[in-house]
Structure 1
Amino acid sequence: MNPVSLIFLALAMSTDAFAAAIGKGSSLHKPRLTEALRTGLIFGVIEAITPIIGWLIGQAASQWVAEWDHWIAFTLLVVLGLHMIYNGLKHEEEEEEKPGSHSFLILAVTAFATSIDALAVGVGLAFVDVNIWVAAAAIGLATMTMVTIGVMLGRVLGSMVGKRAEIVGGVVLMIVGATILYEHLTV
């Protein structure tokens, strides 16, 4: 795989994580750069690991992964999105202050959900002449950068939409999930 193709692959793999990061950033109370970097690092590491796992799976079970990856990503993102919408719709007296950061578990589940496509790409890379370690590093670095920017962009969008920012984030996650499902079903 040539370097230009690798760059485009890495950027393509990071776009859904970028959209999810905007939602995550908008649901936080004024996230700082350190929180954005933490989120970017978590997403980037997971997004770098999944194509390697996919590449390994590609040696034996590519058909199962290709048939179900979009449904897994769709389900995880819709459930997380609905949870965020529910939290955004709580009555004033039930609402808590926006957190300053998300838990590692929430970030890891969201990162995994947005990296299912990278797992499938890893399966495909098992049949192409590519250094999986270089490809995974490029995907991870692009995702870390895009997610960090996304969280900070979400901070700006969150202050513009006020207390309903979590609803926006939930809708964004659901749109990302629906897009993944649509792209796989229309191929």
Structure 2
Amino acid sequence: MNPIPLILLAFAMSTDAFAAAIGKGATLKKPRLIEAFKIGLIFGFIEAITPLVGWLIGKSASEYVEAWDHWIAFSLLTILGLHMIYEGTKPAGNDEEQETGKSLFRICLTAFSTSIDAMVVGVSLAFINVNIWIAAALIGFATTLMVTIGIMLGRAIGSVIGHRAEIFGGLTLIAVGSLTLYSHL
């Protein structure tokens, strides 16, 4: 596979993470570029690991993962989205230290949820002549870049929609999960 399709594949794999990052950026209180970049690195790292896992699975049992990937992604993103909507309807004033731990867990879970499609791509890459390490690195880089941009874009949207930004983020995650499910049915 030549570099152009690999680059396009990398950016295609980052689109759902980009949408989720816009929602996350809207829920954060004025995130700085460095914070957005750190979140981008978390997403990028997880998004780079999943095609490697998928590639390994592809060598042994591709039909099992491919048959259920969209349902797993849909379920995880919908549960996270509903939780965000619930949190968005509660009055502000939670313990910030406790929220930081929950937030990191949510970021990692969201990153994993949006990277399931990259795992399936990894499965399919196991059957063609491609350097999986280069493909995974490109996917991770593209995701880091797109999530960083998405967080900053979400910051601008968040200042417009105010306290209810978490509801917007939850709806975004549910939409991403629903589109993932719809595209596979």
What is the TM-score when the length of structure 1 is the normalising length?
Answer: 0.94
Q: 1:138 to 1:118 in 2, by over 3 A?
A: same
Unpaired segments ≥5 residues, structure 2: none
Q: Distance in 2 between matches of 1:160 and 1:22?
A: 13
Deviations 1:76-131 (A, max 9, x none): 000000001011112x4xx2269696732211100000000000000000001000
1:73 is aligned to: 73
2:123 is aligned to: 123
1:46 and 2:43 are equivalent in the alignment? no
1:142 is aligned to: 142
Q: Greater helix percent: which structure?
A: 2
AA matched with 2:88? G
What is the TM-score when the length of structure 2 is the normalising length?
Answer: 0.95
Q: Distance in 1 between matches of 2:34 and 2:4?
A: 31
1:27 is aligned to: 27
What is the aligned-residue RMSD (CA, Å)?
A: 1.5
Query: After the TM superposition, which segments of 4 or more aligned residues of structure 1 sit over 2 Å from their partners?
Result: 95-104
1:168 and 2:165 are equivalent in the alignment? no
Q: After superposition, where does 1:95-110 map in structure 2 within 5 Å?
A: 95-96=92-93, 103-110=103-110
Q: After superposition, where does 1:6-25 map in structure 2 within 5 Å?
A: 6-25=6-25
2:88 is aligned to: 88
Unpaired segments ≥5 residues, structure 1: none
Q: CA deviation at 1:62?
A: 0.2
Deviations 1:33-81 (A, max 9, x none): 1210110000000000000000000011100000011111000000000
Q: Distance in 2 between matches of 1:80 and 1:103?
A: 11
Aligned residues: 182
2:57 is aligned to: 57
AA matched with 2:125? L
1:180 is aligned to: 180
Q: Distance in 2 between matches of 1:130 and 1:45?
A: 20
**Which secondary structure does the structure 2 equivalent of 1:4 belong to?**
helix
Q: Distance in 2 between matches of 1:113 and 1:19?
A: 12
Q: Distance in 2 between matches of 1:127 and 1:148?
A: 32
Q: 1:131 to 1:112 in 2, by over 3 A?
A: same
Counting aligned pairs with the same residue, the percent is 64
**Which secondary structure does the structure 2 equivalent of 1:127 belong to?**
coil
AA matched with 1:115? S
Q: 1:12 to 1:105 in 2, by over 3 A?
A: same
